């Protein structure tokens, strides 16, 4: 999609801290996590709440007690019931999808103000009954007599109680049958990316996140978690003084015999939420609000599922073409760090004439990315990747850094499980 006529702007944004799954936010329902995020966003921007037309949230592991989690979040946050809400799902780019849908609706004059974002509690992705246990329980519930129920109970076997791990299934590509980490191993082999390169890139991500802690605080709201109301005011993933020697000794996790991808050079499983206020420029100005950035283009693209990590190259190519810009016009770039190998492979693909000619049908490469403008505040290897929220986190981090540095154009992009990529190009509103 591109938006040549009606300009859509990001007025404000905020996110929760990102925490490792099973830690600080493990007992917080994703709807409550999103509700807190939305309440804080509404406090941060001063405009009549009746001006909100719709809430659109990305969410991947949709829990059954909040099937349309966006509606649950909107009502729990105290918004009027007349405000509509919808939930979208595009795996790792679910909140970028919410942004794209919001922009499209504003462009189509369906509405003027949309809150777009996402929320994910990867801690609360459930264990599932095995199919055999499900059948037995169903038969017990539908049996009409006690003797029938007891007879069915006697058919239970210990193996029936082995659960299905929904998180593991969600991180496995259903087309190829391989885990997301195994797709990173494919790219490491394709592009000859050494283990040392991956570890060094991961260490750099942590170092930049630690150095940028004060800047990142500008986009984060404090949250009080658990029965003890533990204060969580910053991302918990970034680590100080990572031991390089210890990282080098970590065993490969996905391909234990020949692999190079480890837990330390992969992003952590994460809980968190991020939201943005989108408006038509006319609406923002009418309300006396000063936009952060305008949205120049949004694009999605597909590719081989086993090489899904290259999605940023395919989608960025489309986004740049729609924006009538080139990679060298980008003053800042955010590439989501699902795996160090995946980002490093993207950097090589962006600058490869052969790859771009064969895969993108271009005359030459898209260009080299200067490491000095890439993920300047660290990335998901340190900060984390709550899959339903990451897209808007990238856009928010990029928008705020563009304002700090007075950068005209910025690119945020990420790979998507299943073989896709998503990208958004932002333009400084000033």
The active-site residue, picked from 29, 92, 267, 346, is: 92
CA quadruple 87, 92, 95, 101: dihedral sign: negative
3-state secondary structure of 171: coil
DSSP symbol at 372? G
**Which one is catalytic: 267, 317, 385, 392?**
385
Active site residue 392: no
Q: What are phi and psi of 257, to 5 degrees?
A: -90, -45
B/e letters for 416-429, b = 16+ CB within 10 Å, e = fewer, are bbbbbbbbbbbbbb
> Which residue in the block uniquely carries the two structure tokens 């065993």?
251
CA angle, corner 79, sides to 75 and 84, nearest 5? 75
Place of tokens 């949709």: 62
Which helix H or strand E contains 225, and what residues bound it?
strand 223-225
φ, ψ of residue 370 to 5 degrees: the values are -70, 120
Give me the residues paired with residue 27 across strands: none
346 is catalytic: no
**Cα gap 394→257, rounded to integer Å:** 34
What is the distance between the alpha carbons of residues 140 and 149, in angstroms, rounded to a whole number?
A: 5
* H or E element at residue 283: helix 281-286
User: What does residue 374 show for φ and ψ, rounded to 5 degrees?
Assistant: -100, 125
Query: What residues contact residue 11 under an 8 Å CB cut-off, 6+ apart?
Result: 45, 277, 278, 279, 284, 289, 290, 291, 292
Contact 376, 82 (CB under 8 A): no
- How are the residues of the chain apportioned to helix, strand and coil, as percentages rounded to the nearest 5? 45, 20, 35
CB 369, CB 298: distance < 8 Å = no
Residue position matching structure tokens 């030459």? 364
> DSSP code of 392?
H
Beta-bridge partners for 57: 87, 117
Residue 92 annotated to the active site: yes
Residues ≥6 apart with Cβ < 8 Å to 341: 184, 185, 187, 188, 193, 198, 260, 261, 265, 309
**Is residue 21 within 8 Å of 237, Cβ to Cβ?**
no
Q: Which residues have a catalytic role annotated?
A: 92, 385, 415
């Amino acid at each position: 999609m591109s938006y040549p006529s009606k300009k859509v702007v990001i007025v404000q944004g905020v996110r929760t801290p990102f925490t490792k799954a099973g830690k600080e936010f493990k007992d917080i329902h994703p709807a409550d996590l999103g509700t807190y995020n939305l309440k804080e966003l509404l406090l941060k921007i001063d405009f009549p709440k009746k001006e909100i037309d719709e809430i659109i949230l990305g969410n991947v592991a949709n829990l059954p007690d909040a099937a349309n989690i966006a509606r649950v979040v909107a009502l729990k946050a105290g918004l009027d019931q007349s405000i509509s809400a919808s939930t979208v799902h595009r795996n790792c780019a679910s909140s970028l999808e919410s942004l794209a849908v919001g922009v499209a609706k504003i462009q189509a004059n369906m509405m003027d103000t949309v809150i777009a974002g996402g929320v994910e509690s990867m801690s609360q992705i459930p264990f599932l009954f095995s199919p055999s246990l499900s059948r037995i329980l169903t038969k017990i519930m539908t049996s009409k007599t006690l003797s029938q129920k007891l007879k069915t109970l006697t058919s239970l076997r210990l193996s029936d109680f082995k659960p299905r791990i929904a998180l593991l299934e969600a991180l496995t590509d259903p087309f190829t049958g391989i885990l997301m980490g195994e797709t990173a191993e494919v790219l490491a082999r394709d592009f000859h990316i050494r283990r040392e390169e991956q570890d060094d890139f991961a260490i750099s991500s942590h170092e930049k996140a630690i150095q940028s802690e004060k800047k990142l605080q500008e986009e984060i709201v404090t949250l009080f978690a658990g029965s003890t109301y533990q204060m969580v005011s910053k991302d918990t993933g970034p680590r100080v003084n990572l031991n390089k020697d210890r990282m080098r000794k970590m065993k490969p996790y996905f391909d234990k015999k020949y692999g190079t991808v480890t837990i330390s050079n992969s992003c952590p499983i994460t809980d968190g939420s991020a939201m943005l206020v989108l408006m038509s420029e006319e609406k923002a100005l009418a309300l006396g609000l000063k936009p952060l950035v305008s949205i120049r283009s949004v694009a999605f693209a597909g590719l081989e599922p086993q090489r899904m990590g290259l999605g940023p190259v395919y989608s960025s190519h489309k986004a740049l073409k729609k924006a009538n810009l080139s990679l060298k016009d980008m003053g800042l770039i955010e590439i989501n760090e699902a795996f160090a190998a995946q980002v490093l492979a993207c950097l090589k693909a962006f600058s490869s004439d052969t790859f771009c000619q064969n895969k993108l049908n271009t005359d030459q490469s898209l260009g080299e990315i200067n490491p000095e403008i890439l993920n300047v505040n660290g990335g998901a290897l340190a900060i984390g990747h709550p899959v339903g929220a990451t897209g808007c986190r990238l856009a928010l981090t990029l928008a705020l850094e563009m304002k700090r540095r007075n950068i005209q154009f910025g690119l945020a992009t990420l790979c998507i499980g299943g073989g896709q990529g998503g990208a958004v190009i932002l333009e400084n509103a000033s």
